[in-house]
Amino acid sequence: MRVFVAGGAGYIGSVTTAALIEAGHSVVVFDNLRQGHRQAVQQQATFVQGDLLDTTALDQAFRDHGPFDGVMNFASHTLVGESMQHPEYYLRDSVSAGINLLTATVQYKVPAFILSSTANLFDAPETIPIAETERIVPGSPYGEMKWWMERALGWYERIFGLRYGALRYFNACGCTPTIGEDHDPETHLIPLILQVALGQREQISIFGDDYPTRDGTCVRDYIHVLDLAAAHILTLEALVAGGASRHYNLGNGSGFTVKEVIDAARKVTGHPIPAQVVERRAGDPAVLIAAADTIRRELGWQPAYTSIEAIIASAWEWHRQHPHGYAK
């Protein structure tokens, strides 16, 4: 397959790009490098620096490098907390960027599209673990934006026949030996914990311990980025082979509290990792655990990283080698 990967220099996008190349596919990465890292993009990929809000650059990339079998969209703002302060980055910018990409996709007759969607669609789940049939209640402007994009895909399918996969990630984490998680500023739990273990941070803040969970801290389903990458490739292959559009919840199916993640990191790193409970963070639901049975059944997807220790160990390996991320 020849795949256009928007946001392919970001964390999940760059790991998926590498996995696509390893599986023998060809990739064109389109990324504005605002959050992504040029070093994270495999040399075998064609790299185009550009912004999805720049329709001329986007058009040019499709003309110069197509035709494509599929488009993947990893490019968007990605933070629940930030979206509660700057909803316009999400409801205006990321939506416009996404619609520009959808428009180019159908204009250049690409048959299949994969959207990075999110567990933040499920702010008030009636059933845990959360299946694809769960009612949609976005928990933040970030989740709302992804829901709008999923609905837009439905319209692009109806109007233009585009087939799509909407992949709702639970908590992406872990690293490969060469590709890691490097956000600026860093807001994600596991890399922040590892910064404490590296001596770069005094302690980890626990955002609230009065949630209705076993130890009062939030429960999340942590899924390794390589397992997410594999899900993207399987889904795109199914669509390119003529399969129908689909929505998949992607997680391990088991949840860990913030305190349990910190404990696991203590075991992996041998560092005491001091922690302090602080206020809740706006927009955080208490429990998010995926029922990822649909993709297992339909595509035979099987996460390789099922233990939280193994996931943290893979991240620890990369962060020790890159204590200051890609910069140094």
SS (H, E, C) 213-275: CCCCCCEECEEEHHHHHHHHHHHHHHHHCCCCCEEEEECCCCCEEHHHHHHHHHHHHCCCCCE
Instruction: Give the range of 2-10, 15-23, 108-116, 203-211 binding ligand UDP by CB under 6 A.
Output: 203-211
Window of 198-206, 233-241, 264-272, 306-314 that interacts with ligand UDP by CB under 6 A: 198-206
Q: Which residues inside 242-261 make contact with ligand UDP, applying CB under 6 A? A: 258
Count of CB atoms situated within 10 Å of the CB of 27: 26
The correct pick among 113, 156, 207, 301 for binding ligand UDP (CB under 6 A) is: 207
Partners of 122 in the β-ladder: 137
Does residue 142 have an active-site annotation? yes
Interaction residues for ligand UDP, span 272-301 (CB under 6 A): 281, 284
Q: Per CB under 6 A, which region of 52-60, 62-70, 184-192, 230-238 contacts ligand UDP?
A: 184-192
Active-site residue, selected from the candidate residues 11, 90, 108, 142: 142
269-284: buried (b, 16+ CB within 10 Å) or exposed (e) per residue? bebebebeeeeeeebb
Q: Which residue among 80, 167, 230, 290 contacts ligand UDP (CB under 6 A)?
A: 80
x-marked contacts with ligand UDP along 158-177 as a string, rule CB under 6 A: -------------x------
Most distant pair of Cα atoms in the chain: their distance: 56
Query: How many Cα atoms within 13 Å fall on the side-chain side of residue 320?
Result: 11
Contact between 82 and ligand UDP by CB under 6 A: the answer reads no
**Shortest gap between Cβ of 38 and ligand UDP (angstroms)?**
24
* 276 φψ region: left (φ > 0), alpha (ψ -120 to 50), beta (else): beta
Query: In the complex, which residues of this chain contact ligand UDP (CB under 6 A)?
Result: 80, 171, 187-189, 192, 204-207, 218, 220, 258, 281, 284
